[in-house]
C-alpha cells in the first residue's frame, strides 16, 4: 500500500519584511497564494528503514540524505507518535528547486500528510501545522494552500478569501538562490535605515477577495526583490521581457530567482510565456492558475 499527496507551489503576492529579529528571522506580512505547479510525494512502507528517491528536471539538486525536508517531516511525525520512520518517500518534483516557490516546504507538507495517512496516526490538523512550523516558515502554508496572510516569520496563518481565478506565468531561472543569502542581502541593503514594521495591504487583500487581476497587479510588492536583483542583476531583463510581452505586473517570486508575471487571461499568459522563452532570459516559462488547493491525498 502507498499514499500519494499532491502539494502546490506558492507565490508571495505581498512580502513585507521587517527588521531582523534577535533570532535572525524577520517579521513578515506575507500574503501567500498557492499556484497550480505541484510536487507529488508518495509514501510506501520500507521495512528496511527510511529511503528517499526523487525524479524531475531538478532532481540532481535535491539532497537525498536526512537533511531533506520531506525526510525530516516523516521523522518529526514518527517521533511524536513513538514510531520508526520506516518509509520510502518518493518525490516527483515539478516545482523548481531553490526557486523561491517553496518546493522543499511543499515536499515537507506532502510527506507529513502522506505518512499520517500511511501510518494511521490521524494527527489533528493543529498538530500537523505545529510540526510544519518547526520544519520551516513556509511549510504551514504548503499544507493549507489557497491564499493566506502569514505573520510572525510567516508561519502564523490567517486564511484569505479569493474571489476568482488568476492567470500567472513563472519564468524559471538557471540555478537557484539561497533564501538565507537573500535575507542577508536585504539586511545589508537596509542597514542604517529605519525598516518599518510589516503591514498587510488592505488594497491588495481587497483585490484578492474580488478576484480583480488589474487591482492585484497594481498592489503586488516584494521587499526581497531588491536583494534578489542585487544578487542576480540579470533578473531585471527577465522582468522587463515579461512586462513588454503584456503582463499586467512582474515581480520576483519570494526569495527568487523565479520571476512571476500576472496576466489578464489565459491567452495573454500563453503569449507572455512564449515571449519569455524566446527572450533567452530564463531557462523555461510555465503558465498556471491560482488559487490551488493545499496538500491533497490522491490515493
The region that residue 246 occupies, defined by phi over 0 for left and psi between -120 and 50 for alpha, beta otherwise, is left
Q: Is 101 annotated as a binding residue?
A: yes
Interface pattern 124-153 for ligand ATP (x via CB under 6 A): --------------x---------------
Report if residue 76 touches ligand CDM, rule: CB under 6 A: no
Q: Is 110 annotated as a binding residue?
A: no
**Contacting ligand ATP (CB under 6 A), which of 13, 15, 37, 98?**
98
User: Of residues 250-279, which lie at the interface with ligand CDM (CB under 6 A)?
Assistant: 254-255
For the chain, where are the E strands, in sequence order? 3-20, 26-45, 51-55, 87-92, 147-151, 156-159, 166-172, 221-222, 249-252, 259-263, 284-290, 296-297
**Contacting ligand ATP (CB under 6 A), which of 5, 34, 102, 251?**
102
- Active site positions, annotated: 10, 138
Distance CA 271, CA 286 (A): 11
Interface pattern 181-220 for ligand CDM (x via CB under 6 A): --x-------------------------------------
> Angle at CA 114, nearest 5°, toward 256 and 152?
45
Q: Can you spell out the DSSP letters for 287-299? A: EEEE--B-SEE--
The region that residue 211 occupies, defined by phi over 0 for left and psi between -120 and 50 for alpha, beta otherwise, is left
State the nearest-atom distance from the C-beta of 224 to ligand CDM, in Å: 6
Q: Is 206 annotated as a binding residue?
A: no
Nearer of residues 3 and 220 to ligand CDM, judged by Cβ: 220
Report if residue 146 touches ligand CDM, rule: CB under 6 A: no
Amino acid at each position: 500500500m502507498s499514499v500519494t499527496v499532491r502539494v502546490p507551489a506558492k507565490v508571495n503576492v505581498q512580502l513585507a519584511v521587517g527588521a531582523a529579529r534577535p533570532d535572525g528571522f524577520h517579521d513578515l506580512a506575507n500574503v501567500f497564494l498557492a499556484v497550480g505547479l505541484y510536487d507529488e510525494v508518495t509514501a510506501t512502507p520500507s521495512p528496511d528503514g527510511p529511503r528517499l528517491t526523487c525524479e524531475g528536471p531538478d532532481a540532481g539538486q535535491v539532497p537525498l540524505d536526512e537533511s531533506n525536508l520531506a525526510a525530516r517531516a516523516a521523522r518529526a511525525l514518527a517521533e511524536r507518535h513513538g514510531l520508526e520512520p520506516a518509509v520510502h518517500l518518493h518525490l516527483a518534483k515539478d516545482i523548481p528547486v531553490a526557486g523561491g516557490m517553496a518546493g522543499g516546504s511543499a515536499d515537507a507538507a506532502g510527506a507529513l500528510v502522506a505518512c499520517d495517512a500511511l501510518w494511521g496516526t490521524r494527527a489533528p490538523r493543529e498538530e500537523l501545522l505545529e510540526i510544519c512550523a518547526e520544519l520551516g516558515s513556509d511549510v504551514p502554508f504548503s499544507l493549507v494552500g489557497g491564499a493566506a496572510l502569514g505573520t510572525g516569520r510567516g508561519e502564523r496563518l490567517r486564511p484569505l478569501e479569493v474571489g476568482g481565478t488568476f492567470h500567472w506565468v513563472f519564468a524559471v531561472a538557471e540555478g537557484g538562490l539561497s533564501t538565507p543569502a537573500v535575507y542577508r542581502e536585504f539586511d545589508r541593503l537596509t542597514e542604517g535605515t529605519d525598516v518599518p514594521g510589516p503591514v498587510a495591504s488592505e488594497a491588495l487583500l481587497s483585490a484578492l477577495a474580488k478576484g480583480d487581476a488589474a487591482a492585484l497587479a497594481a498592489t503586488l510588492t516584494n521587499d526581497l526583490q531588491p536583494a534578489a536583483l542585487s544578487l542576480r542583476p540579470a533578473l531585471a531583463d527577465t522582468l522587463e521581457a515579461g512586462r513588454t510581452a503584456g503582463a499586467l505586473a512582474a515581480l520576483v517570486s519570494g526569495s527568487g530567482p523565479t520571476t512571476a508575471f500576472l496576466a489578464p487571461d489565459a491567452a495573454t499568459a500563453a503569449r507572455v510565456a512564449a515571449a519569455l522563452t524566446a527572450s533567452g532570459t530564463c531557462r523555461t516559462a510555465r503558465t498556471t492558475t491560482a488559487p490551488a488547493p493545499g496538500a491533497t491525498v490522491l490515493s
